[in-house]
Structure 1
Amino acid sequence: MIRKYFDDNCISIRQWAKKHNLEQRTTYAVINGETVGKYNTAKGSSKKVFEALLSEGIIENMPDVFKSDDNEKAS
């Protein structure tokens, strides 16, 4: 779904990652649906990708795995 958005809008994933100062490999993995967990990336880099996607309106909500993370910080 996310990859389709990039393809349909002719957005270069590499350039988009650079624009948001994101790690390219992780960005590709997230956009291709290969990475969604918070434990399989270094220093929360997948969360940063999802935050950038959310800020640009590409996704509507953060994945559930990250929502529980935010709730723990608020407590």
Structure 2
Amino acid sequence: MTHDEILNRMREIFHDTFGIEPSRVTPQAHLFEELDLDSIDAVDLAIKLQEMTGRRIKPEEFRNVRTVADVIAAVESLLKA
């Protein structure tokens, strides 16, 4: 998957799972401050990413994720593994 394909998939996930308008899901958008996710939402997001990549996300890898760009980087890392 390319960077843009991952971003588009993130927009779908954020819309379908959290009701967030796709236009708000930009690489620089902060998950907790701008997109209003909480810790439970972060767990849901990690599960969706696992489904998308077919790989398990280690909690320590996801702990430092703060922005949509961080999520994209985490997905790219999983896909390379």
When normalised by structure 2's length, the TM-score is 0.36
Higher Cα Rg, which structure? 1
Query: Which is bigger in relative contact order (C-alpha 8 A, separation at least 6)?
Result: 2
When normalised by structure 1's length, the TM-score is 0.38
